[in-house]
Amino acid sequence: MAQKASSFSTIAILLLILISPSFASFPSVPILNSDSICNLTPHPDFCKSILPSDKSITKFDFSRICLRQSLSNAYSLLGSIKYFLRLPSTSYLSTIRALEDCKFLAELNVDFLSYTLQNINAKEDNNNLDSSMAETLHALLSAVLTNTETCLEGLGASEAASRVEKGLLPSILNGDRFHGISLAIFKHAWVHEITKPLTGRRNHGFLNLGKAKNSPLPLIMSGHDQAIYESVSGQKPAHPDVGEGVNVSQLVVVNPDGSGDFTTINEAVAAAPNNTGNGTQYFVIYVVSGVYEEYVVIPKKKQNLMMIGDGIDKTIITGNRSVADGNGMTTFNSATFAVVGSGFVAVNITFRNTAGAINHQAVAVRNGADKSTFYRCSFEGYQDTLYTHSLRQFYKECDIYGTIDFIFGNAAVVFQDCNIYPRLPLEHQFNTITAQGRRDPNQSTGISIQNCVIKAANDLASSNRTTKTYLGRPWKEFSRTIVMQSFMDDLIEPSGWAEWVGNFALDTLYYAEYRNSGPGSNTDARVNWQGYHKNLTGSDAAVFTVDNLIQGGTWLDPTGVPYNEDLD
């Protein structure tokens, strides 16, 4: 049945191509055949089996064909997942949780693929997709692959993995190939690899105000909201003339004592307007000092939401879920705080997972929100503290604590002016700061640690135990991480980086260091892997700046958060 459905989908897609004016070829665009375009993908043979051999269509035509097939597969997989969730025999809690993750991720993939097709089908002139939109769609298609991989990981760890995987695995793997091919051809057709040169345009946001301890954001709001803000925060918002101001549509207050608008964070999130992603105003939730024992999710329909606390260790959101707690948790859904809605901003908040090292994977924050920002926040956990899952993210002046792989995931993410604190792990364990999960060379993802401080947390610094600490290890085949212009204390091992398993990914990863300082930054005894780079030029390092890796210059200014666009 699946093969017949797939053949029908292919025929339908080809008919659409013939009748749709958006698939017309333009004389200035080179005509290609499936062999030449498929050789650019990670699955050339599979690609040739699904694409027409017609030599009269362009790379843009091929891109649309593949994306339509990817979308068809995403719908099919979503239906299969829902079917398994309805089966009475699906009773293991861990399997149910893994399937729920897969359903959520498959729904995101349908959204991302539909949005991509909508935008490229609207372009009668194939060359008229502006660079900002091309980068956004590139990020979305990169996330589609990450979502599929995350679903597989959760299913593989469930108690009924063999039975469920037998039913879903063919569709998941088929979709994975479709998505990989779609990403590769889209990148070849629509994304222009242009790294912006170093321009000296460095400081943005509200500039010097960002240097003062606990200085407020420059909020632009109504007189009524400003009076409330000043009352609960004890300070006036920064004057917007100093820099870019944050346009506030509405301010609400969370206070457990009942004096605010809501007593819980989840109530405030639920009250935020839906689907405001095309706007430039923020719905602001002010969370006063206190310990909030809540599991919070910022869903995909809650966009441009800003959450402000009273400060690190004052406003604390805490939970203790872990994969070892007996409740069938996956790493993905162990998060105390999870973000999906695009344009999210958090300021002056501590996010904590108290499961402890003994319970292994236990996430404090999982972030899969495009154009999301965390400013002056703290992330506290042990293994897998901060799950930078997907899409584009920025962290400024934050504190991050953990042990094993405590910054991990497959987002395009920049950490700037942050403090990174490896903690004391269990006996016989070692610390790895990062575990980046790029598994396809066409994904626009990677971890960039810029102008940060890496030093031992108090428990590790005061311990008599010898604990090895590494900058990272390769979770996936094309893992990509750079540490640049940062201070490394002497806790970093001379070799710098650790293997995952044997020789896995050592030739295909991209790890780099650039102009770091401190006793742990000496690269003389670093690993000699083919994928490790220690002699970068400024142009090499510029690929991993705010401007180039996450296109921050196009979306960070409205947040009011200061950032350095390029290299210092």
Which residues in 140-164 are b (16+ Cβ under 10 Å) and which e? bbbbbbbbbbbbbebbebbebbebb
Strand-pairing partners, residue 375, are 347, 396
Helix (H), strand (E) at residue 512:
strand 510-514
Residue among 176, 405, 440, 566 flagged as catalytic: 405
CA distance 511 to 474: 9
Neighbouring C-beta atoms of residue 31, cutoff 10 Å: 14
Q: Return the structure tokens found at 47.
A: 């690609």
Q: What is the DSSP string of 351-394?
A: EEE-S-GGG----SEEE--TTEEEES-EEE-STT-EEE-SSEEE
Which residues in 231-240 are b (16+ Cβ under 10 Å) and which e? ebbeeebbeb
Are 219 and 284 spatial neighbours (Cβ–Cβ below 8 Å)? Answer: yes
Relative to beta strand 563-564, strand 350-353 is: unpaired
252: CB partners within 8 A, 6+ apart = 260, 261, 262, 268, 271, 283, 284, 285, 286
For the question of residue 405 being annotated catalytic, the response is yes
Relative to beta strand 563-564, strand 203-204 is: antiparallel
CA distance 471 to 474: 11
Are 531 and 509 spatial neighbours (Cβ–Cβ below 8 Å)? Answer: yes
Q: 3-state DSSP call for residue 406?
A: strand
Are 176 and 150 spatial neighbours (Cβ–Cβ below 8 Å)? Answer: no
**CA distances in angstroms from 404 to 95, 96, 361, 381, 467, listed in the order given:** 25, 27, 9, 10, 12
Helices first, then strands: H and E counts in the chain: 12, 31
Q: Which long-range contacts (CB under 8 A, 24 or more apart) does 308-311 make?
A: 308/217, 308/233, 308/284, 308/346, 308/347, 308/348, 308/349, 309/346, 309/347, 309/348, 309/349, 309/350, 310/233, 310/348, 311/214, 311/348, 311/376
391 phi-psi bin (left φ>0, alpha ψ -120 to 50, beta other): left
Q: What is the DSSP string of 484-495?
A: ES-EE-TTB-TT
Half-sphere exposure of 315 (CA within 13 A, CB side): 24
Are 310 and 233 spatial neighbours (Cβ–Cβ below 8 Å)? Answer: yes
Active site residues: 405
